[in-house]
């Protein structure tokens, strides 16, 4: 078992002042795989003090200097890709091949896209020809507290750490205590790349501990959080007394609108997307809305796709889904599957319990419910597991009303050959992102939602601006 007790503070690995052990489990075996320590107030204070001390120097560095550092981080990160994939697979159960191809590469992609965006970023911009002596300046927010989840570790860490660095902020990262190993490795990457002492700091901890300490700390100017809506509300309340800037990227209950003229792969693509990462993605299309003439066939395709979805250990190579992350997550998913059955949804694939042949590990059967109604629990709550709910609609307006009938608003999806219909729906779906006909967001587009999904804008130049304050300056001299 790996024993790792150190935090990364002020450019050094340091022992915690108040050790409280936390066991990290391998979701494929349920066995302990590491022990970390959860930090206390003294650890948080030390990390924030280091970040505050480093802020004047780092915020005064030149844009080319920050860019050069980001490029060194990208090179160091790429060199550690195999080790990062192994850490992610071990700590949160992503199949090893998927960890390499998707989990690790998410970090690579974001770092690359931030570098591209930063090259064109203007920290001082003219307001416009109507005000030739007015400039809008962008300046670092200050010390940022970064709180990240376990489901896509490098995706979320890269979406916060890299733009904060480029913006000129210093920071304290609290990764998920459920999956901290990849974050510790990322700290090594930043150290190797030459991030100056105090600019980046890492303290392990849980939400009620280090998370709350960062949210209430008077020297932390901003909290950037990714996680549940419940935790996002708690962080917002905790941060209110110190008037922090708070950026929240929260959960989702994405609708996938499939019309009768959709392409032949639309249903299968939607099911696979829902099951990807064992369903542990906030932007998963977990509600499949199908136009009634195509409904019966869609249910059958979904059933066949679920039955063909292999579930196996994260340590095995190949294309399959792994376990969910923890015993608590497994229990929550099982309870929601049982609730779906009890409330009258038609179970067409999967169901309660583990897949055949797996009696250890937090493995969930790929599950499909048909004849779901919008009032059912499984249509309203974020399940965060490989569970798909299918329902029929008769008109475009009905589909829109069902899709928007949720407090969440992260990603919605549209599948139709009708171009004007796609554009129309894209404008009326209430979400921060809309993806249509299997076309992913382009490089540099932001990730973020509305409503109960939070209103963060992570990625590209929007992601850099999240860590900046704007200032209007009049009487500017010269061009």
Which residues have a catalytic role annotated?
249, 282
Q: Distance between CA atoms of 375 and 405, rounded to whole angstroms?
A: 10
At residue 345, what are phi and psi to the nearest 5 degrees? -70, 150
Three-state secondary structure string covering 43-76: HHHHHHHHHHHHHHHHHCCCHHHHHHHHHHHHHH
Specify the DSSP element, H or E, that contains 435: strand 433-436
Smallest CA-to-CA distance from 40 within 69, 64, 14 is with: 14
Smallest CA-to-CA distance from 51 within 191, 159, 173 is with: 173
Q: Distance between CA atoms of 351 and 365, rounded to whole angstroms?
A: 6
Three-state secondary structure string covering 352-368: CCCCCCCCCCCCCCCEE
In the structure encoding, which two tokens stand for residue 220, read together? Answer: 């932390």
Is the distance from CB of 298 to CB of 290 less than 8 angstroms? Answer: yes
Alpha-carbon torsion, ordered 449, 323, 20, 8, to 10 deg: -60
In the structure encoding, which two tokens stand for residue 439, read together? Answer: 């076309």
Who's near 196: CB < 8 A, 6+ residues apart?
A: 11, 54, 57, 58
Specify the DSSP element, H or E, that contains 287: strand 287-291
Is the distance from CB of 70 to CB of 162 less than 8 angstroms? Answer: yes
Is the distance from CB of 80 to CB of 185 less than 8 angstroms? Answer: yes
Is the distance from CB of 295 to CB of 392 less than 8 angstroms? Answer: yes
Token pair 């210093």 in the structure block, residue:
170
Q: How far is CA 434 from CA 110, 332, 427, in A?
A: 19, 28, 9
Q: Distance between CA atoms of 266 and 285, rounded to whole angstroms?
A: 12
């Amino acid at each position: 078992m790996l024993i790792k007790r150190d935090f990364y503070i002020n450019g050094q690995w340091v022992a915690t002042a108040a050790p409280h052990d936390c066991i990290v489990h391998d979701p494929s075996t349920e066995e302990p795989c590491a022990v970390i320590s959860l930090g206390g107030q003294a650890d948080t204070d030390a990390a924030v003090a280091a970040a505050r001390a480093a802020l004047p120097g780092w915020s005064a560095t030149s844009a080319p200097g920050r860019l050069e550092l980001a490029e060194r981080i990208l090179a160091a990160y790429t060199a550690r890709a195999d080790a990062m994939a192994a850490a992610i697979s071990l700590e949160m159960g992503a199949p090893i091949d998927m960890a390499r191809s998707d989990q690790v590469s998410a970090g690579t992609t974001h770092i690359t896209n931030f570098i591209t965006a930063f090259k064109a970023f203007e920290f001082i911009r003219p307001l416009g020809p109507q005000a030739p002596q007015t400039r809008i300046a962008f300046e670092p927010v200050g010390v940022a507290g970064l709180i990240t989840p376990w489901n896509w570790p490098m995706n979320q860490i890269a979406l916060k750490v890299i733009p904060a660095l480029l913006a000129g902020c210093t920071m304290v990262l609290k990764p998920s205590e459920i999956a901290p190993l990849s974050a510790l490795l990322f700290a090594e990457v930043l150290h190797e790349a030459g991030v100056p002492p105090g600019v980046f700091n890492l303290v392990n901890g849980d939400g009620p501990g280090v998370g709350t300490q960062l949210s209430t700390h008077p020297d932390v100017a901003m909290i950037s959080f990714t996680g549940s809506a419940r935790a996002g509300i708690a962080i917002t309340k905790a941060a209110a007394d110190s008037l922090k800037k708070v950026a929240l990227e929260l959960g989702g209950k994405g609708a996938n609108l499939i019309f009768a003229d959709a392409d032949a792969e639309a249903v299968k693509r939607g099911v696979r997307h829902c099951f990807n990462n064992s369903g542990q993605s906030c932007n998963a299309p977990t509600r499949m809305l199908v136009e009634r003439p195509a409904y019966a066939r869609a249910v059958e395709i979904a059933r066949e796709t679920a039955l063909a979805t292999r579930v196996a250990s994260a340590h095995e190579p190949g294309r399959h889904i792994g376990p969910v992350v923890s015993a608590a997550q497994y229990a929550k998913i099982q309870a929601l599957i049982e609730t779906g059955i009890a409330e009258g949804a038609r179970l067409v694939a999967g169901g309660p319990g583990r897949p055949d042949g797996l009696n250890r590990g937090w493995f969930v059967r790929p599950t499909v419910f048909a004849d779901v109604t919008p009032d059912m629990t499984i249509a309203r709550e974020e399940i965060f597991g490989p569970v798909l709910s299918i329902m029929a609609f008769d008109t475009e307006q009905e589909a829109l009303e069902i899709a928007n009938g949720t407090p969440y608003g992260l990603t919605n999806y549209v599948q139709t050959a009708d171009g004007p219909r796609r554009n129309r729906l894209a404008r009326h779906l209430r979400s921060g992102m809309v993806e249509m006909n299997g076309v992913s967001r382009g490089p540099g587009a932001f990730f973020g939602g509305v409503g109960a999904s939070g209103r963060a804008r992570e990625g590209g130049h929007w992601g850099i601006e999240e860590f900046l304050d704007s200032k209007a300056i009049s009487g500017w001299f010269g061009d």
